[in-house]
Homo-oligomer: A and B are copies of this chain.
Amino acid sequence: MGDPAISRFPIPDLNALPEDIKERILAVQEKSGFIPNVFLALAHRPDEWRAFFAHHDALMERDSSLTKAEREMIVVATSGANGCPYCVVAHGAILRIRAKNPLLADQVAINHRKADITPRQRVMLDFALKVCRNSDEIVEEDLDALRAEGFDDDAIWDIGAIAAFFAQSNRLANLSSMRPNDEFYTLGR
């Protein structure tokens, strides 16, 4: 077929996948109307696939004082900094939907300092980008700046752990040259 490749690495046939993985993928397809390419691009390694999505869900679906939109802001801002097309485009769509705001994802991906966010969210993203770029330079003063905005230790962990998880995710997507589904570009606009 003539479609552009969605990964540099092999994409297994859906029916050849372990049952649990196949089921999850079909459930996502049912809900979204399409299969986001990340579910296919990681499937050549079932154990890594399971751990990856379990980790993703543990961070992104848990009860947290961060809203789901705020968590997607962290994903989009750090993925922009890492030059990762898959994560900016796919999570940009999710951010537009979660925030019910068609402009926010592009703003956050390009330059969070100019985005339509609150000062508290600005501090949150400043920290997420430090985890993304210079985690070795994190000092106690950085956490104090978060606490001054009302983030407790649990929220601080969420900010940092989401930035860390997508540090991995962005690298896997850039390693495999993972292609965002065309559908994501317009969702939520």
Contacts and interface: CB of A to CB of B under 8 A. Distances in A.
Interface of A: 4, 8-10, 44-45, 47-48, 50-52, 54-55, 57-59, 62, 80, 82-85, 88-89, 102-103, 106-107, 109-111, 113-114, 116, 131-132, 135-140, 143, 153, 157, 160-161, 163-165, 167-172, 174-177, 179, 182, 185-186, 189
Contacts of A102: 185-186
A24 B12 CA distance: 32
Count the copies. 6
Contacts of A80: 110
Contacts of A172: 160-161, 164
A168 B175 contact: no
Contact of A10 (B51, B58, B110, B153): B153
